[in-house]
Amino acid sequence: MPTAESRASQAGRATRAGGATQAGRAGQAGRAGSGTGLALAVVSAVTFGTSGAFAASLIGAGWSPAAAVITRIAVAALVLTVPAVLQLRGRWSLLRRGAGKAAAFGLVAVAGCQLFYFNAIERMPVGVALLLEYLGPVLVVGWLWLRRGQRPRRLTVIGTVAAIAGLAMVLDLGGPARIDPIGVMWGLLAAVGLATYFLLGAAEDEEPLPPIVMAWAGMCVGAAALAALGLAGVLPVTATSGDVEFLHHQVSWIVPVLGLSLVASVISYVTGIGASRRLGAKLASFVGLAEVLSAILFAWLLLGQLPSAVQFVGGAFILAGVTLVRVDELGATPAGGRRESPAHVPELVDSGVQSEAGRPDRLI
């Protein structure tokens, strides 16, 4: 007959074994969530990168950049309306509680970022403006350091320098570049908008808006804000209804509009928010640098613009920088045992096991 001590010992071993099993399941689910986050981030960057090819055909046919952006965001918001409303059935309180963040996302990350960028390229070369805008990941690192005390470690610093150097090479900034102080200001504001996109997309609330709802609400606000600026005469809004040239063929203007709205907006924003939820703002923002590589790749495939050797080398630097930041994230042990954003584990919630961030996942 087992003694009390033996029963206690058996219970202790069972508890430790159960805890180890649960911890193992949590670790596996966390790694799976991280892998999904990386996949979503790459999809987001690639689909964002198609916007240049689609927009070029509209602008070449007489559309103003503001008109293309307003149409892009408005159509995307319309497409997302039904799935967003379905996700909010019985949970409209989520939208009320998250209205402030959704409004900030729409005004700063959607409308503001694009408006600031367009103002920048009016005063400086596109490559310089893009380089300034894609300082956004650096701003994310700085914000997490100043606001949350997450001081960047050596690998993150090295990865940041490598990524920015690679970005400069990819954008091919060689040659004389006219630097306008006002243009620099607009470019840095665009970087703030890009950083806001990743920080608000990460959404560390206890019950954040689902990615589809967040994207939909932000696009509604952004489209309304840009349309208001257009009606007020602040933004020049011109569009034509004639055919446009796309892939060396004359097609209806509807084709690039749908590409901008469905591929470069609906898919890119929803997957981008989903990636930020799983990876955190810092890593998601660095993976987002692949958008520049994607834009050059699509310009090569769709428009016949062959990248230079320097741009290929720059792409390798960006990938190296992202890899270093990723390695640093994997080896991180933040204070309090939390990452700056959760890697959620939905299937372990009922069993009492949570992810390394302590919160259940919310699927796209």
In which band, very low, low, confident or very high, does the pLDDT at 307 lie, cut at 50, 70 and 90? low
pTM: 0.71
pLDDT of residue 339: 46
Segment 338-356 shows an average pLDDT of 39
Beta strands in the chain (DSSP E): 244-246, 249-251
pLDDT of residue 220: 96
Is the model's pLDDT at 282 over the cut of 90? no
Beta carbons of 206 and 166 less than 8 angstroms apart = no
Segment 44-51 shows an average pLDDT of 84
Segment 149-156 shows an average pLDDT of 83
Segment 152-173 shows an average pLDDT of 81
**Exposure string over 36-57, b if 16+ CB within 10 A, otherwise e:** bbbebbbbbbbbbbbbbbbbbb
Segment 70-92 shows an average pLDDT of 93
Non-local CB neighbours of 74 within 8 Å, separated by 6+ positions = 219, 223, 227
Q: Which residues pair with 251 in a beta bridge?
A: 244
pLDDT of residue 10: 54
The amino acid that residue 38 corresponds to is: L
Nearest to 129 by CA among 93, 179, 87: 179
pLDDT of residue 352: 38
Is the model's pLDDT at 214 over the cut of 90? yes
Half-sphere exposure of 275 (CA within 13 A, CB side): 24
The amino acid that residue 236 corresponds to is: P
Is the model's pLDDT at 334 over the cut of 70? no
Segment 265-282 shows an average pLDDT of 90
Residue with tokens 């270093």: 324
As a whole number of angstroms, the distance between CA 246 and CA 253 comes to: 9
Nearest to 228 by CA among 361, 46, 132, 106: 106
- Phi, psi values for residue 246, rounded to 5°: -140, 125
Q: How do residues 234-262 score in pLDDT, each as one tens digit?
A: 888 999 988 988 877 899 999 999 999 99
pLDDT of residue 326: 76
- Return the HEC string of 268-302: HHHHHHHHHHHHCHHHHHHHCCHHHHHHHHHHHHH
Which of the pair, 204 or 75, is modelled with greater confidence? Answer: 75
Residue with tokens 């591929």: 263
Could you tell me how far CA 261 lies from the centroid of its own chain?
Answer: 16
Segment 339-353 shows an average pLDDT of 40
Tallying the residues shown for the chain, one arrives at: 364
pLDDT of residue 3: 54
Which of the pair, 131 or 81, is modelled with greater confidence? Answer: 81
Segment 309-337 shows an average pLDDT of 72
Q: What is the mean pLDDT of the chain?
A: 77
pLDDT of residue 22: 46
Is the model's pLDDT at 165 over the cut of 80? yes
As a whole number of angstroms, the distance between CA 135 and CA 33 comes to: 27
Beta carbons of 207 and 277 less than 8 angstroms apart = no
- Hey, is 243 helix, strand or coil? coil
Which of the pair, 359 or 154, is modelled with greater confidence? Answer: 154
